[in-house]
A = this chain, B = another copy of it.
């Protein structure tokens, strides 16, 4: 019997409450029934994004919202500084370049967080930069960039802070409004515990002002048009109705648990994951680890590609390997969303099992024991 366990950094497991709600007969979106649901969803999103501003819902993956962030606030020829410390940092740069935005990359060694002083220096050299773009959590490396500090720096310099919060919002504390972040994007298949297909984006007043000056072409991702519709609990184009209905359920779950408790849960699961790996002699890849995903170096002498492969094929356990240049060099355990203590014992036990199978020398049980000590501290 193979039973599936999902520990990849998106899609994350979907709670049965949401699956069943989404399996109900489909609603038509131009009805008061849908509007009541969407109104509740919009309020719930503000709570999770920690903002009083509208959070726009798009029918797309997270990348769509990243594109929306760029094409609504910047114009061809504008200069944007991009923190490039992983696959998703690269994506920010690619999007900007696709739309003719002059991109100044800050290349950060994969596995490291950006240094705020380095950013300052680049901004000093480019006083005409209009925006700084980064990842609150860089999913490919499991790194957390210093979002609060960077947002403050942007405010000081009067430039837009544009944050990819796809594996950060609802995972750890990102105070969109209090920290004065101008644009934050996220997606449904991470802490929001839903299948992929919805993306979210919120803008500060300053960012909405910028949308008025933006000359980048756009249609499907035109946020001003969406805002006008969504403030009436409708959308400009047909919304992904079933996912929005599922989102109402998962937002209720987050609200019931309380955002602070959700953050605490993620923090302790992440700590247990890190300490468990260290307890069997493994090294963490991320210098400043995100609570969304733990990236672990594949030990010397082990074929890195085999770890997720055997876990999936023989154990039914899905974790992620490394992407791009990290292929075969790291593996990544996600602990965001619908994950609790007992799930962590499963995934850590599975990793011990596969490492034993691959001939790695360690004391079987040491990782799970370490996790238990932290989880039941």
Which residue numbers of A lie inside 8 Å of B, CB to CB?
4, 6, 8, 10-14, 19-20, 22-31, 59-64, 67, 76, 94-95, 98-100, 187, 189, 195-197, 216-222, 236-243, 312, 318, 320
User: Can you list 24 A-B contacts (CB < 8 A)?
Assistant: A4-B25, A8-B28, A11-B238, A11-B241, A14-B25, A19-B22, A19-B25, A22-B22, A31-B318, A59-B60, A59-B197, A61-B237, A61-B238, A63-B238, A98-B218, A98-B219, A99-B217, A189-B238, A195-B240, A195-B241, A196-B238, A196-B242, A216-B217, A217-B217
Chain B contacts for A218, CB-based, 8 A = 98
Q: Which 8 A-B pairs have the closest CB atoms?
A: A197-B240, A195-B242, A23-B23, A63-B237, A98-B219, A19-B23, A61-B238, A61-B237
Chain B contacts for A63, CB-based, 8 A = 219-220, 236-238
Chain B contacts for A76, CB-based, 8 A = 217
Q: How many copies does the complex hold?
A: 2
Q: Which residue of B lies closest to A219 (CB)?
A: B98
Interface residues of A: mostly helix, strand, loop or mixed? loop
Q: Which residue of B lies closest to A319 (CB)?
A: B28
Chain B contacts for A98, CB-based, 8 A = 217-219, 222
Assess the B23–A11 pair: CB atoms within 8 A: no
Least CB distance from A240 to B in Å reads 4
Given A30-B320, A238-B189, CB of A23 within 8 Å of CB of B25:
no
Chain B contacts for A217, CB-based, 8 A = 76, 98-100, 216-217
Chain B contacts for A29, CB-based, 8 A = 11, 196
Q: How far is the CA of A216 from the CA of B8 in the complex (A)?
A: 35
Interface centre among A4, A8, A187, A195 (most CB of B within 10 A): A195
Q: How far is the CA of A6 from the CA of B10 in the complex (A)?
A: 33
Chain B contacts for A221, CB-based, 8 A = 220
Q: How far is the CA of A255 from the CA of B197 in the complex (A)?
A: 26
Q: Which residue of B lies closest to A25 (CB)?
A: B4
Interface centre among A31, A76, A216 (most CB of B within 10 A): A31
Chain B contacts for A237, CB-based, 8 A = 61-64
Assess the B219–A67 pair: CB atoms within 8 A: yes
Chain B contacts for A28, CB-based, 8 A = 6, 8, 11, 318
Q: Which residue of B lies closest to A95 (CB)?
A: B219
